């Protein structure tokens, strides 16, 4: 069975940046499942996997526009420290969920001043060229629920239903 839209595929992967540093890997863990066509993985990786079968191994270079996007300056903002009441130690590198007009947005603390905190709402991998090495380990039909929800169910599924 070839990977195609509305099928579930499982992959082992290693993700490196252009410098060759390993950023993420499924090594020693379960393979990563995704519903093809449901934006579960970055577009550039998904399009390279279309048509592949179990056992296929490939290296895929994904540019920012097909990965996590370019860095957007407007997503870097300074907010009043009063927004962080109840949090005693705000440190550079901490991550929070913020309310954005389009929903929940993870933000990373860039700077902490006396009255303000500078936050970066860009994805940590925005602006980076990503180098994936992947191996397809399984391709199967998706269940109706998986298609309706746009994600894979089963072992490792960490939500309630």
Instruction: Please give the radius of gyration of the chain, using alpha carbons only, rounded to the nearest integer.
Output: 19
Pick the stretch among 73-81, 92-100, 111-119, 149-157 that binds Zn ion (CB under 5 A).
149-157
**Selected binder of Zn ion within 16, 81, 118, 149 (CB under 5 A):** 149
Number of residues that bind Zn ion (CB under 5 A): 1
Q: Which of residues 43 and 157 has its CB atom nearest to Zn ion in the complex?
A: 157
The burial of 127, by beta-carbon neighbours within 10 Å (0-12 exposed, 13-18 middle, 19 or more buried), is given as middle
CB of residue 106 to Zn ion, shortest distance in Å: 20
Query: Phi and psi at residue 46, in whole multiples of 5°?
Result: -60, -45
Terminal alpha carbon distance of the chain: 28
Name the residue with the smallest CB distance to Zn ion: 149
Q: Which of residues 16 and 149 has its CB atom nearest to Zn ion in the complex?
A: 149
Q: How far apart are CA 2 and CA 53, in angstroms?
A: 5
CB of residue 40 to Zn ion, shortest distance in Å: 12
Residue 147 lies near Zn ion (rule: CB under 5 A): no
Which helix (H) or strand (E) covers residue 24, if one does?
A: strand 22-25
Q: Which residues bind Zn ion (CB under 5 A)?
A: 149
């Amino acid at each position: 069975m070839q990977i195609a839209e509305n099928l579930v595929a499982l992959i082992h992967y290693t993700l490196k940046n252009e410098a060759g540093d390993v950023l993420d890997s499924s090594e020693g863990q379960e393979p990563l499942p995704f519903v093809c066509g449901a934006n579960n993985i970055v577009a550039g990786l998904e399009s390279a996997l279309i048509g592949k079968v179990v056992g296929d191994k490939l290296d895929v270079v994904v540019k920012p526009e097909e990965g996590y996007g370019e860095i957007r300056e407007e997503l870097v903002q300074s907010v009043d420290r009063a927004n962080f009441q109840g949090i005693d130690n705000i440190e550079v590198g901490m991550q929070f969920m913020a309310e954005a007009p389009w929903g929940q947005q993870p933000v990373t603390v860039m700077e902490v001043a006396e009255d303000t905190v500078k936050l970066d709402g860009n994805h940590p991998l925005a602006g980076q060229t990503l180098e994936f090495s992947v191996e397809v380990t399984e391709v199967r039909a998706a269940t109706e629920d998986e298609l309706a929800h746009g994600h894979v169910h089963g072992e490792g599924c960490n939500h309630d239903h």
